[in-house]
Structure 1
């Protein structure tokens, strides 16, 4: 049991030491990942005149129109929710087989 606590403490320490990872780019396609330097604790996305900028940001600078988030790679452009088509297809399959 003590080894489990030791492994947990090591994991938490290493994850905190590695810092936050964010996408960083200027433009529509964004594949570059960076580790945020000390003092930058948010991932940010800014859209001005159809030009998207993604980077690391300090939480005090996260004001409108800048969108900020706190988890790794959370400023991606990929949608995270389910699509309507996927929900309809799964409902149809359940209806047919139940």
Structure 2
């Protein structure tokens, strides 16, 4: 048998970069202000839909809400993160100790 040796020339072309969207599904803490704190309930984000690809935590007037979120909806005051159970309540959402102390002093002066 005779085999021919083919010289294959590769041509390099430049194309516009492709955007590949990776969907990472996480398990996130999921609580509302009505739930007992600290938050221990979890939810698998992929059970909520294809694009729930971030965990979130937000606090409005001291009421903390946690769960799964679509990345394009992650705007302030919503704090989003990537990673399993990454949305545990950070100290930043807790009231500052000075505020708590002031409230305690104010409450004591009302009752004394």
Q: Is this contact kept in 1: 2:53–2:69, CA < 8 A?
A: yes
Structure 1 18/48 Cα, relative in aligned 2: closer, same or farther at 3 Å? Answer: closer
- Counterpart of 1:57 (choices 69, 88, 97) is 69
Q: Within the alignment, does 1:43 sit opposite 2:52 as a pair?
A: no
3-state SS in 2 of match to 1:26: coil
1:21 aligns with 2:27: yes
Conservation of the 8 A alpha-carbon contact between 2:25 and 2:52: no
**How many residues were matched structurally?**
64
In structure 2, runs of 5+ residues without a counterpart are 1-21, 92-112
- Greater Rg by CA: 2
Runs of 4+ aligned structure 1 residues displaced above 3 Å come to: none
SS in 2 for 1:41: strand
TM-score, normalized by length of structure 1? Answer: 0.58
* 1:1-98 to 2 correspondences below 5 Å: 19-27=25-33, 28-37=37-46, 38-77=50-89
Cα pair 2:29 2:43 within 8 Å, conserved: yes
User: In the superposition, relative to structure 1, how do residues 67 and 78 fare at CA in structure 2: closer, same or farther (>3 Å)?
Assistant: closer
Q: Contact (CA 8 Å) 2:30, 2:42: kept in 1 or not?
A: yes
Kindly indicate which of the two structures has a greater share of residues assigned to helix: 1
